[in-house]
Amino acid sequence: DVDEFDLSPDGRWIACVTNEDGVGVLHVINAATGAERRIPRLPAGLISDVRWRKSGAELGFTRTSARAPADAYSLELASGTVTRWTESETAGLNTGDFAEAELVHWPSFDGRAISGFLYKPPARFAGRRPVIINIHGGPEGQSRPGFLGRNNYYVNELGTAIIFPNIRGSTGYGKTFTKLDNGVLRDGAYKDIGALLEWIRTRPDLDADHVLVTGGSYGGHMTLVTATQYDGPICCSVDVVGISNLATFLQHTSGYRQDLRRVEYGDERDSTLRAWMERTAPLNNVDKVTKPLFIVQGMNDPRVPRTEAEQMVAALKRRGVPVWYLMAKDEGHGFRKKGNQDFQFYATILFTERYLLGQGGSATP
């Protein structure tokens, strides 16, 4: 996909940014011939806000990477010199030590290559490392190699690797790929995570016996599906404002969203689609769950109603599965207030230490 472009004031050059497997790649193209001008290749990251100077001799842009939030850069066309003009505030952290994103691929059930970004902990953490799989929401979305912020704590301090997969249904790979999870085709997206779990086992640097899966919104739905369909390969899950049953979600989400979401998930009023939703719903498969879950929800969520979380928590408790439940009375679809964000972050660290890293403690917080 092409993210953005800008034509030089003299009309000679086109600068464009392409989304290549999630990485933002800058190109400069001769407007008359279509030939691409050779420019320095930047490390994996995101590029935006591409603008030419009036002279057409220099190009400005914003670059974000795993080691830096958004900063201003320029490219001098004649010399190919790239200059960084700003150093974003990082509260004194040495971001040069942060892990760079590694683009990885694995084959899924149908032979299709699925990609994602792997962040590995520093070398001082020896041996196979525990893994966090963090699935993006949407599903029309994409994980890209930007700045991880506080997620760097899991990598740098806890020694866990993080994988951000872009399963079928993600954007950035063309319309066909985005539609590969519509309706009952969603089974394919579920299997993409199963294939990732198998791929992790082939890596000598990753510990396939210590895997936590997490995600928010649709990523939370994928988390709950993984907890039910792949209970064996994982050891715990963190679901944030996730959907526990597509049918009940479509019935109770805000009216302005219902028809839009039915295009993506299918119409729950259709008996055939309803049967598939009920058959695959995590809520109706809790008997397959044996590993601890942490479920996070906002009371005032207009998108994924709190009933999706509450019904899942109740079903898990009836089966005696260890489940933590954090519900904020003053939040909606995801936590926005800093105090709540901090509480969620620290609680998730505690859950991760206890159930992923096996650092002990009681079954309830």
Of 8, 115, 217, 237, the catalytic one is: 217
Cβ-defined contacts of 15-20 (< 8 Å, 24+): 15/50, 15/52, 15/59, 15/61, 16/50, 17/47, 17/48, 17/50, 17/61, 19/142, 19/144, 19/172
* Residue of 136, 210, 221, 333 marked active site: 333
* 27 noted as active-site residue: no
Active site residue 88: no
- What's the alpha-carbon Rg for the chain, to the nearest Å? 22
148, 119 contact by CB (below 8 A)? yes
- Cα gap 31→14, rounded to integer Å: 6
Catalytic status, residue 342: no
- b (16+ CB within 10 A) / e for 224-237: bbbbbbbbebbbbb
3-state secondary structure of 194: helix
Q: Is 69 exposed, middle or buried (0-12, 13-18, 19+ CB in 10 A)?
A: middle
Catalytic residues, which ones? Answer: 217, 301, 333
